[in-house]
């Protein structure tokens, strides 16, 4: 998980970019931090989605087969 310090730095750089612009070094730092943030976000989202079970209004499991295979492979649910 990305640290609060890094998130704060991302925000600082974004604000500075809007007001006065960034140096090349700061732009590179911003790009690196954004990539790290997106990688962390996507990993967390993937983990969340892979743990989901989709149920219709009648209570029937309608989880897509592709997701069921991933869950079975990872041992997330007994299916």
Render pLDDT for 17-68 as a digit per residue (tens, 0 to 9).
Answer: 999 999 999 999 999 999 999 999 999 999 999 999 999 999 999 999 999 9
At 1, the pLDDT band (50, 70, 90 cuts) reads confident
| The overall pTM is greater than 0.85 | no
Percent with pLDDT over 90 in the chain: 85
Two tokens at 21? Answer: 């612009």
In Å, how far from its chain's centre is CA 27? 22
State the pLDDT at residue 78.
Answer: 55
Specify the number of domains making up the chain: 1
Question: Is 79 a domain residue?
Answer: no
Q: Are the CB atoms for 45 and 21 separated by under 8 Å?
A: no
**Higher-pLDDT residue of 9, 77:** 9
Rounded to an integer, what distance in angstroms lies between the CA atom of residue 12 and that of residue 2? Answer: 16
**C-alpha angle with apex 7: 27 to 15, nearest 5 degrees?**
50
Domain extent for 33? 4-74
d(CA 79, CA 15): 48
20 domain residue, yes or no: yes
């Amino acid at each position: 998980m990305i640290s609060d310090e890094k998130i704060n730095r991302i925000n600082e750089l974004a604000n500075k970019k809007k007001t006065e612009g960034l140096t090349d070094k700061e732009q590179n730092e911003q790009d690196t931090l954004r990539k790290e943030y997106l990688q962390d976000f996507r990993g967390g989202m993937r983990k969340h989605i892979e743990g989901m079970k989709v149920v219709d209004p009648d209570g029937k499991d309608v989880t897509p087969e592709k997701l069921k295979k991933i869950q079975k492979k990872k041992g997330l649910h007994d299916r």
